[in-house]
Amino acid sequence: MDAEPKAAFRSRLQRPIGMTPRRGRMRRALVVLIFSVVAVSFAQAQTIEMKLAHYAAESHPGNLASKMFAEGVEKRTQGKIKITIYPDNALGSPDEVLAKNIKGDVDMALPYHGHLGKYSKKFNCVMLPFVFESYAHADKVLDGPFIAWAASDLEKIGLVLLSNWEWGFRNLTNRKRPVNTPVDVRGLMVRTPPELPLQVAMEALGAVVATVNFNDIQKALGEGVIDGQENPVAVIYANRLYETQKYLAMTGHTYSTMVHVINKKVWNKLTPEQQKIVSEESVKAGDWMRNSVRDAEADQIEKLKQLGVQVTYPDKSKFKAMMKSAYARMNAIAGEENIQEF
């Protein structure tokens, strides 16, 4: 009888009695499987803490919707995902927060299209003066093919677009005179955010554009450093701008929404079920905010009147007719091809 190879002989001696090579392999596979299941279960059991930062005031529907979103996610994930809200530019200006969101220092943010337009010209199309005729028109466009068309650009910079929320049609306030025609805007020093689409609209009307940090706007208005500003009614009311502004013109010159975005790396760490919950709760919060802002607008206008603000309703067609120079400049800001496709 031939001698058994030494290596095989040693292996057989080291093997537990009664265990065949096949059983050994099965045992090792079972151990690996058990450890994998335990690891996955442990990961799923871990609490995920996120930061959501935005620029809306604490009493603004944008912040209330953020809280609703956070509560909905926490409840449906049974506390596995906890979201802390940082409103009112607590973590920096909108542009700073968006940069942090892209970097991953902030998990979620609510920029509006003008902020995102610095990274993708497609978002600047939304800011075209008088491009939307109504809220229903805006919803149809932004909730339609636009999301997929624009979201692909965000993924390239590390963001995932969850849903469109609301901000509203922007209107003009000032401390000097009622605005009924474009001529009434001429010469007013008007504060706008640093987004070019908003600036070109005011400049087309003959206003002198000033850039002031929003947290300093009340002081600048009160001291007469600037004459006016432009924002949706909800912002004017929530931030008590009526204390320094006597006149409100319902110009509705541009429309914008908060856009709910999440850092792509954070998103990819969530389970498919968690992603589903986050997406659904984002849409739910956005729908609530839309309804809240729109339903409250008429009531807020009446309250502004009671507080001494004179409200005018100019003929928008006359203002739109003044936008030729703004549209020409928007070709460079938004891209002529993007505008045509939009």
Task: Report the C-alpha gap between 175 and 217 in whole angstroms.
Answer: 13
Q: Is residue 38 part of a domain?
A: no
Same domain, yes or no, for 114 and 239? no
Same domain, yes or no, for 248 and 264? no
Rounded average pLDDT over 74-83: 98
Q: Is residue 36 part of a domain?
A: no
> Is the predicted pLDDT of residue 44 greater than 60, yes or no?
no
Q: Residue 218's pLDDT is what?
A: 92
> Is the predicted pLDDT of residue 37 greater than 50, yes or no?
no
Q: Is residue 2 part of a domain?
A: no
**pLDDT band at 214; cut points 50, 70, 90:** confident
Closest CA to 33 of 25, 21, 44: 25
The sign one gets for the Cα dihedral 66, 69, 72, 76 is: negative
Task: Report the C-alpha gap between 84 and 170 in whole angstroms.
Answer: 29
**pLDDT band at 25; cut points 50, 70, 90:** low
Same domain, yes or no, for 207 and 244? yes
SS3 190: strand
Q: Is residue 220 part of a domain?
A: yes
Burial of 116 (0-12, 13-18, 19+ CB in 10 A): buried
Closest CA to 297 of 75, 114, 135, 101: 135
Same domain, yes or no, for 184 and 311? yes
Closest CA to 109 of 66, 58, 64, 48: 66
Q: Is residue 15 part of a domain?
A: no
Same domain, yes or no, for 244 and 312? yes
Q: 227 versus 342: which is more confidently predicted? A: 227
Same domain, yes or no, for 63 and 153? yes
Same domain, yes or no, for 308 and 334? yes
Domain of 241: which CATH number?
3.40.190.170
Same domain, yes or no, for 124 and 151? yes
Q: Is residue 37 part of a domain?
A: no
User: What H or E segment, with its residue span, contains residue 49?
Assistant: strand 48-53
Q: Which domain holds residue 326?
A: 169-254+303-341
Same domain, yes or no, for 110 and 128? yes
The sign one gets for the Cα dihedral 235, 236, 238, 239 is: positive
Task: Report the C-alpha gap between 59 and 57 in whole angstroms.
Answer: 5
Q: Across the chain, what does the average pLDDT equal?
A: 89
Q: Residue 261's pLDDT is what?
A: 99
Whether the full predicted model's pTM is greater than 0.85, yes or no, is no
Which residues have C-beta within 8 Å of that of residue 22, sequence separation ≥ 6?
A: none
Q: 172 versus 239: which is more confidently predicted? A: 172
Number of structural domains the chain divides into:
2
> Is the predicted pLDDT of residue 158 greater than 70, yes or no?
yes
Same domain, yes or no, for 151 and 59? yes
Same domain, yes or no, for 249 and 264? no
* Contact present, 271 and 251 (Cβ < 8 Å): no
Same domain, yes or no, for 261 and 138? yes
